[in-house]
Amino acid sequence: MAQLSEAQLKEIQELELVISQDMFQRASNVCLKKCIPPNGNITELSKNEAVCIDKCIAKYLEIQEVSSKKLASLQQEEMAKYEAINQAGQAPK
């Protein structure tokens, strides 16, 4: 398997940060809309609103974790297939 350069690793880390920030922003927006009434006061949350937001964010993070694990698994499978094909192409005839 090819090694990634330092620049490639840095680019991947920056992309992961952007994705994480985007995911958090989306979760915040969805959960605020779900848990705070349109005429609600966002400066002071009720206990129910705070619990709702906490549970909503936890679900969002759980789904993101499950999705990330599945994606990583699929990527490993594809990499294994690619390496097997690549090695078969290099076998002596």
pLDDT, one tens digit per residue, over 3-26 is 778 888 889 889 888 988 998 899
Count of Cβ atoms closer than 10 Å to residue 40 Cβ: 13
pLDDT of residue 74: 86
Residue corresponding to tokens 């680019």 = 11
Q: What is the pLDDT of residues 34-84, one digit of tens each?
A: 998 888 667 888 999 999 999 999 998 898 889 888 888 888 888 888 888
Two tokens, residue 59:
């679900």
Nearest to 20, CA basis, from 72, 54, 65, 51: 65
End-to-end CA distance of the chain, in Å?
Answer: 23
pTM of the model: 0.62
